[in-house]
Amino acid sequence: MCGAEALKRFRGILSQHEEREVVEYPEVWCVGKGSGKLMNITRSDSNNFGYDDDNGDYRVVIGDHLGYRYEVQSELGKGSFGQVLKCHDKRKDLVTAVKLIRNKKRFHKQAQIEVKLLKYVKQHDPNNQSNIIHLMDTFLFRNHLCIVFECMSLNLYELIKNNNYQGLSMGLIRRFAQQMLTGLKTLRKLRIIHCDLKPENVLLCKSNSSAIKIIDLGSSCFDDEVTYTYIQSRFYRAPEVILGLPYDGAIDMWSFGCILAELFMGYPVLPGENEMEQLACMMEVLGLPPQELVNASNRKKMFFDSQGQPRIVANSKGKKRRPATKDLSKALGCKDKAFLSFIKGCLRWDKRERLTPEQAMQHEWLQEALQPLPPASNKHGGPAGLPPINKPRR
């Protein structure tokens, strides 16, 4: 029905604001009937007519609508950007995830870049074979930019957590690795840097399938439009970002290597409390960075003394990490030479020496025991189910 018809039919359950608002909508699919929505909202109310809290986040009401089309079922998550809601698309009769951006100028501007990148990915991935989440819809509702995606299942951090942080089987890690590399290969081809690859941003398509997709391009950029220096979650942050050096898509391969190590171990391989210790964690396992990288760093005085030696600082538990005192095999608790070689290839100090997605796909660790894997489709295609999750006891 149209907005004018909806006003006549549902006048008694629409708020004062909605009575003025609904007539502007050519299609109305739901009005949040019986949801306990905010009713007495007037133009004099502050914070976006009372729909926002003091931080610019939307006051979510379960059962209410977004854009008179999406019925809110539950909250899926929350972050600095805003909220993610599980919604029922009444028009398509489909469960979706709606990313509701905070009503603040800088978040709105960054979300517009995310939408631009998502549209670009979808345009160049018409058959949905890249294992990167596809944009379904976008709209503006009560000054909030809303981005609609297919509804997914657990993220990889939740999978690790549900497995009691014991680490996953090598077979399952390989399946995840192949699919992530397909996504990273696509991003590299499109010259997009993800900038925040971590277990929370890789989701299972379904709870009983090993098909996955990379999500959240909210921090992403084209490689010729790099503007931010503070990017990537700390445990997955590449050394060039910490050192203040120019970066490119190779930072995503560093994050990818950290993710695979965590999937094997059950916890982060480089768990720095801050940037100082994060770099110390890297040096503890990988040794000192090449001198040319240190010399080029505009932040070297934070991490190195006047002689170019690393500053050794105790963390909150009094622990001091010293360079080259723990090899990767010991750090991971792993003796699989092919896997260790693969991780080392991702965790090179010099981004020019790091594996590219294409090179990683040809590495012996993936080639030795991997069967061709169909890409995740919009209908959650892929393997019929999860292979054994737990790795053998060491």
Residues belonging to the active site: 196
Q: Tokens representing 304?
A: 């190195």
Q: Is the CB of residue 110 less than 8 Å from the CB of residue 218?
A: yes
Q: E strands along the chain, which residues?
A: 65-66, 70-79, 82-89, 94-101, 135-141, 144-150, 192-193, 202-204, 212-214, 221-222
Residue 83's beta-bridge partner residues?
Answer: 78, 100
Angle 197-202-203 from CA coordinates, rounded to 5°: 165
Residue 137's beta-bridge partner residues?
Answer: 148
Q: What DSSP designation does 140 have?
A: E
Residue in 136, 166, 163 with CA at minimum distance from that of residue 148 = 136
What is the length of the chain?
Answer: 394
Q: Is 368 helix (H, G, I), strand (E, B) or coil?
A: coil
Q: Is the CB of residue 267 less than 8 Å from the CB of residue 258?
A: no
Q: How many CA atoms does the CB half-sphere of 325 hold within 13 Å?
A: 7
Measured distance CA(216)–CA(195) in Å, rounded? 10
Q: Is the CB of residue 16 less than 8 Å from the CB of residue 40?
A: yes
Q: Is the CB of residue 280 less than 8 Å from the CB of residue 288?
A: no
Residue in 225, 56, 75, 231 with CA at minimum distance from that of residue 145 = 56
